[in-house]
C-alpha cells in the first residue's frame, strides 16, 4: 500500500554536501530525520556549526532536522532519500559499498508502503539491479508491492551560491508513473525552479553521468590546449579571450579537476561501457588528461625554479589552496594532493595555505600542516592552485611581501587559475607562469 496519501515524513541518509542542504530545506516544510553514521559530524551540526558552508551556521542552528546515528529512527519515515558518496577504488572502478551499505540499513528499518529515492551518483542500472535487491533481502519486502523506488540525481555545486538546490531544475524518476508523480510532488516543496520527470530510472541515472562527463571533456580540451600553448610560449588566457569573442564559444577554462563529481563520475560511465563491450574513447581520454594536470603544474613549477636559478631541493615553496575548487572548504579528490606528491619526488617540501578548509582534516588528507596566510614569509615560489576570493583580492604588494628579499627574476609565481595580472607581476620582478 503506497503511503502517498499521507504527509511525507522524510529521512535523509547521508548528511554531507548533498544531504545536509536537502534535509534542511525539507525541514522547513515537513518532519525530517537526518541520519549519518559519522557521530563527529552530527555533533558538529548539533553545535550549530556547518563545516560544509552549504547551509551556514545560522541555518544549522535554526533547523528542525532531527540528527541521529540511530538507524532505527528511519522506521518513522515513509519517504527516504539516500545521499551517500559513491567514490571510486584506486583502479578507477566504482566503489558501491557506501550506497549498498545504506540500502541494507534502509532495508532493516523500512516501513511498508514507503518510497526510497536515490540521489547518489551511479551508473545506469544500479538502482534497480543492485539497490532494490539489497533492500528486499534485508527487509523481506517486495519492491512494487510493499515499497517503491525512484532516482533523482543530485545537482549540488559546492561553494556555488547561485546554482543551489532551490534554483536548479530537479530531475526525478520512478519505477512507475505513480511513483514518479509522487516523488515529483514531494520535491516540488523545495525546488521552485521546477521538476523534470525522466522517462525511466536508468535515464535519470545516465543523465547525471552525461552532464558531468560533458563538463570533464570540455575542461580536458582546454587543458590540452594549455599544454600545447605552453610549448608555443603563448598565453592560454590571451587565446581564450580572443576565442571567446565568438558568440558560440563555450567559455571553459583549463584547471585542476577534482571533487566528488566531475573527477569521479565519468569513471562510472567508462566502467559500465566496458561491461557492455564498449571501450570508451573520448571520455576516458578526457579523464587521462585531467588526471595528469597536477603533474604538469608541478613539473612546470620545477622548471620555473630552475630558470630562476634556485637550488630546487632547498627552495621554500607554498601552495595556496587545498580545496578542490574556489570558495568552498571541500577537499574531496583535490588535485593539490597530486601536486604535493609530485613535488616530493624532487625532494621539495611544500607549505600549504587555505583559510577555508578545516586544518585538522587538511593535515590528514595532505600530510602537511596548514600555514596561516598571514605567516607566509621568505618564499622562493608561490603556487596559486585554487582561486579563492581571498587570494584574488591580494595585491601585487601583498604577494611581494610573502617572498624572501630576492633579486628580480628569482621570485616564482605559478598561477594555475590565471588570477593575477601578468604585466603587474612581471613589473614587480616575478618570474610568472600561468596555466
- The pLDDT tens digits of the residues spanning 291-314 come to 999 999 999 999 999 999 999 999
Distant-in-sequence, close-in-space partners of 133: CB < 8 Å, separation ≥ 6:
none
* pLDDT at site 4: 57
Domains in the chain (CATH in brackets) are 10-199 (3.40.50.720), 292-434 (3.40.50.720)
Distance CA 60, CA 64 (A): 9
Residue 2 pLDDT level (bands cut at 50, 70, 90): low
Please give the C-alpha separations between residue 302 and each of 61, 312, 314, 317, in angstroms, as whole numbers: 47, 7, 12, 10
Q: Are 163 and 132 within 8 A, CB to CB?
A: no
- Annotate 105-125 with b (16+ C-beta within 10 A) or e (fewer): bbbebbbebbbbbbbbbbbbe
Model confidence at 414: pLDDT above 80: yes
Q: Is 350 marked active-site?
A: no
Q: Are 200 and 152 within 8 A, CB to CB?
A: no
Model confidence at 256: pLDDT above 60: yes
- All three cell numbers of 301, joined, read 613549477
Residue 363 pLDDT level (bands cut at 50, 70, 90): very high
For the stretch 385-406, pLDDT in tens is 999 999 999 998 899 999 999 8
Q: Are 226 and 257 within 8 A, CB to CB?
A: no
The DSSP bridge partners found for residue 117 are 81, 150
Distance CA 35, CA 40 (A): 13
- All three cell numbers of 182, joined, read 509522487
* pLDDT at site 5: 62
* pLDDT at site 1: 47
For the stretch 196-249, pLDDT in tens is 999 999 999 999 999 999 999 999 999 999 999 999 999 999 999 999 999 999
Taking each helix axis from N to C terminus, what angle separates 293-307 and 282-291, rounded to the nearest 10 degrees? 40
Say which residue the cell 633579486 belongs to: 407
For the chain, how big is the Rg over CA atoms in Å?
A: 24
Q: Which of 227, 266, 222, 311 is nearest to 88 (CA)?
A: 266
For the stretch 341-356, pLDDT in tens is 999 999 999 999 999 9
Choose, from 103, 131, 180, 261, the residue flagged as catalytic. Answer: 261
For the stretch 8-48, pLDDT in tens is 999 999 999 999 999 999 999 999 999 999 999 999 999 99
Please give the C-alpha separations between residue 48 and each of 20, 51, 62, 96, 237, in angstroms, as whole numbers: 13, 10, 8, 31, 42
Phi, psi of 267 (to 5 degrees): -70, -30
Q: DSSP string spanning 331-351?
A: -TT-THHHHHHHHHTTT--EE
For the stretch 129-155, pLDDT in tens is 999 999 999 999 999 999 999 999 998
Amino acid at each position: 500500500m503506497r503511503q502517498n496519501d499521507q504527509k511525507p515524513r522524510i529521512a535523509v541518509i547521508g548528511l554531507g554536501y548533498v544531504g545536509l542542504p536537502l534535509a534542511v530545506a525539507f525541514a522547513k516544510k515537513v518532519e525530517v530525520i537526518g541520519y549519518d553514521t559519522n557521530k563527529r559530524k552530527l555533533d558538529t551540526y548539533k553545535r550549530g556549526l556547518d563545516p560544509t558552508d552549504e547551509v551556514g551556521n545560522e541555518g544549522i542552528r535554526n533547523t528542525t532536522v532531527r540528527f541521529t546515528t540511530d538507524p532505527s529512527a528511519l522506521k518513522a519515515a515513509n519517504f527516504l532519500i539516500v545521499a551517500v558518496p559513491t567514490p571510486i577504488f584506486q583502479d578507477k572502478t566504482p566503489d558501491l559499498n557506501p550506497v549498498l551499505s545504506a540500502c541494507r540499513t534502509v532495508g532493516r528499518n523500512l516501513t511498508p508502503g514507503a518510497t526510497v529515492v536515490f540521489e547518489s551518483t551511479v551508473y545506469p542500472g544500479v538502482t534497480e539491479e543492485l539497490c532494490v535487491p539489497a533492500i528486499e533481502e534485508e527487509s523481506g519486502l517486495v519492491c512494487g508491492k510493499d515499497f517503491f523506488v525512484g532516482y533523482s540525481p543530485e545537482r549540488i555545486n559546492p561553494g556555488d551560491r547561485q546554482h543551489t538546490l532551490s534554483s536548479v531544475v530537479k530531475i526525478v524518476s520512478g519505477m512507475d508513473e505513480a511513483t514518479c508523480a509522487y516523488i515529483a510532488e514531494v520535491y516540488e516543496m523545495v525546488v521552485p525552479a521546477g521538476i523534470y520527470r525522466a522517462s525511466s530510472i536508468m535515464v535519470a541515472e545516465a543523465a547525471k553521468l552525461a552532464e558531468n562527463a560533458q563538463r570533464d571533456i570540455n575542461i580536458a580540451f582546454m587543458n590540452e590546449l594549455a599544454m600545447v600553448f605552453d610549448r608555443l610560449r603563448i598565453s592560454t588566457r590571451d587565446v581564450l579571450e580572443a576565442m571567446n569573442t565568438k558568440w558560440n564559444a563555450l567559455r571553459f577554462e583549463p584547471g585542476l579537476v577534482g571533487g566528488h563529481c566531475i573527477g569521479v563520475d565519468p569513471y562510472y560511465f567508462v566502467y559500465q561501457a566496458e561491461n557492455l563491450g564498449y571501450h570508451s574513447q573520448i571520455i576516458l581520454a578526457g579523464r587521462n588528461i585531467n588526471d595528469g594536470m597536477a603533474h604538469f603544474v608541478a613539473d612546470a613549477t620545477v622548471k620555473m625554479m630552475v630558470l630562476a636559478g634556485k637550488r630546487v631541493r632547498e627552495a621554500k615553496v607554498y601552495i595556496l589552496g587545498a580545496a578542490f575548487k574556489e570558495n568552498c572548504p571541500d577537499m574531496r579528490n583535490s588535485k593539490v594532493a597530486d601536486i604535493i606528491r609530485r613535488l616530493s619526488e624532487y625532494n621539495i617540501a611544500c607549505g600549504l595555505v587555505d583559510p577555508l578548509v578545516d586544518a585538522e582534516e587538511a593535515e590528514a588528507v595532505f600530510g602537511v600542516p596548514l600555514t596561516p596566510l598571514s605567516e607566509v614569509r621568505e618564499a622562493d615560489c608561490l603556487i596559486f592552485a585554487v582561486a579563492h576570493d581571498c587570494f584574488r583580492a591580494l595585491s601585487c604588494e601583498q604577494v611581494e611581501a610573502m617572498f624572501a628579499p630576492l633579486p628580480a627574476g628569482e621570485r616564482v609565481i605559478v598561477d594555475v587559475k590565471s588570477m593575477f595580472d601578468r604585466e603587474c607581476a612581471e613589473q614587480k620582478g616575478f618570474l610568472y607562469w600561468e596555466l
